[in-house]
Every structure is written in C-alpha cells, then in structure tokens.
Amino acid sequence: MTHPHSTQSTTRDHALASLFVAAMLAVLAPGIAAAQSEAPDCIAIVAEMLAPSPSAGAIRASAGCPSTGPVTLANRWTRRGARTATERTTLVEASSLVRDGRLYDGVSSVVRDGSYPVADRLAALRVFVSYADQGFPVSQQGQARGAKATMASPARHADASSVTGTVPLRATVRDDIRRELSRLAREDREPDMQWSAKRASESLGFSLAPSAKAAVNRKP
C-alpha cells in the first residue's frame, strides 16, 4: 500500500529537482534557448554534470554542447573537494576540445589558485597551455616528474575536432598565458608547478623574464 504522503513527497521531490535543473540552466547558459547548435540532450547532460560524481560519458558529452558545455566543464574544474584520477583525465580530454571564454576563465582560475590540489592544478595547466597554441598537444603539458599528474590520451591536439563555444576568447589570451607561465615558473610555491610552467614556456617559444629563478623539479 502506498501512503498518500509518500506519493506527494516523491512528486514534490521530482518537481524540486526539475526546478533546480531549470534554475541552473538559466544561470549557466542564459542564451541556451537561442542556441541553434545545442543538441536536445544537452539539458540532460547538464543535469548529470550537476551531480556530485558525473560519469565520464557525461563529461565527454559536455564538450559537444557549445552553450552549456563550457560552463558545466568550468564548474567541474572549480568545484572544491576530492576528485578521482578518472574524472581529472576526462576533464582534460573534454576541455582540450573546447574553445570558450568561460571555460578558459574556469581553468585559469584553478591554475592560479594555490589552494587547489596540485594534481588538479597540473591537469588544468595542460588545458590552459593549449589555449596559447591551437596546434600544441595538450598531452605534453603539466607532467612534472615526481608529480602524480593524470595523463591525457596520447597525441590528442587542441585543434582536433574542436568545439567553439558561444563566448569568444579575449584577443589577449596568448599574452596572458605567457605572463602567467612566467609568474608560475618564478613564484609558485609548488616545485612541480614551477617545473611544468617552465617546460610549457619553452615548448611554446616563450622566453622567461631574466629575473625568473630556475624552476626546481622535485625528484620522486
């Protein structure tokens, strides 16, 4: 026998969940209704991405949603708390395919903020660097020896099957990345971040400021 209060409670919970997803959609992507290229299942993907532990499939699928995807991916990057190696790897893979100002801002905030776990910052650095050069292989960045950074799929390039989001990148992105890499190599408290930033700068052809001290690679 089903208690009437139980049925009412279940109905109310479903209604609240639907309202929550709708509210988050409004916050995450105000222009979703007008986005002609957004696939119908992107709303369901947003709902799963807001869960505490979205599946790897949902994270990858977010890359194909130009309106909502960049923000849900950015939201996963900036969330606090423990993160599995699988989620970190999948975030790098999916984010490396998207070019959008909102995702760039989210990833760069993790790179800059020393309060995030170093594994998250190193993973974010791989995506961050890819914005400086469309042809630069993301899988080569943020892999300091001695750091337990998650590796992305080999030979994946930032310009392969890339998705352009609805918010364009600033024209100063490459210069911003150059300055931030120089700062990280010079000032960051994590030796692995210093070493990775220095390697990234060299790979991209950026010259470090003369005053920048050499980054020290922490040995295992």
pTM, full prediction: 0.71
**What is residue 210's predicted lDDT score, i.e. its pLDDT?**
56
**What is residue 134's predicted lDDT score, i.e. its pLDDT?**
53
φ/ψ (deg, to 5) at 99: -120, 105
Q: For residue 196, with 0-12 CB atoms within 10 Å meaning exposed, 13-18 middle and 19 or more buried, which class applies?
A: buried
**What is residue 161's predicted lDDT score, i.e. its pLDDT?**
65
**What is residue 162's predicted lDDT score, i.e. its pLDDT?**
79
Reduce the DSSP state of residue 81 to 3 states and report it: coil
Among the listed residues 182, 87, 187, 197, the one whose alpha carbon sits nearest the alpha carbon of residue 142: 197
**What is residue 72's predicted lDDT score, i.e. its pLDDT?**
96
**What is residue 63's predicted lDDT score, i.e. its pLDDT?**
93
Q: What one-character DSSP code corresponds to residue 139? A: G
Give yes or no for a contact between 92 and 110, defined as CB atoms under 8 angstroms apart.
no
**What is residue 194's predicted lDDT score, i.e. its pLDDT?**
96
Reduce the DSSP state of residue 98 to 3 states and report it: strand
As beta bridge partners, residue 168 has: none
φ/ψ (deg, to 5) at 74: -60, -40
**What is residue 149's predicted lDDT score, i.e. its pLDDT?**
35
Q: For residue 40, with 0-12 CB atoms within 10 Å meaning exposed, 13-18 middle and 19 or more buried, which class applies?
A: exposed
**What is residue 49's predicted lDDT score, i.e. its pLDDT?**
94
Distance CA 59, CA 151 (A): 16
As beta bridge partners, residue 220 has: none
**What is residue 18's predicted lDDT score, i.e. its pLDDT?**
46
Distance CA 168, CA 165 (A): 7
Going residue by residue through the chain, which has 220 residues, state the pLDDT in tens, using 9 for 90 and above. Answer: 555 544 444 444 444 344 444 445 554 444 444 444 577 889 999 999 999 999 999 999 999 999 999 999 999 999 999 899 999 999 999 999 999 999 999 999 999 999 999 999 999 999 999 998 654 333 333 333 333 333 332 223 434 467 888 899 999 999 999 999 999 999 999 999 999 999 999 988 887 655 544 444 554 4
**What is residue 12's predicted lDDT score, i.e. its pLDDT?**
43
**What is residue 140's predicted lDDT score, i.e. its pLDDT?**
31
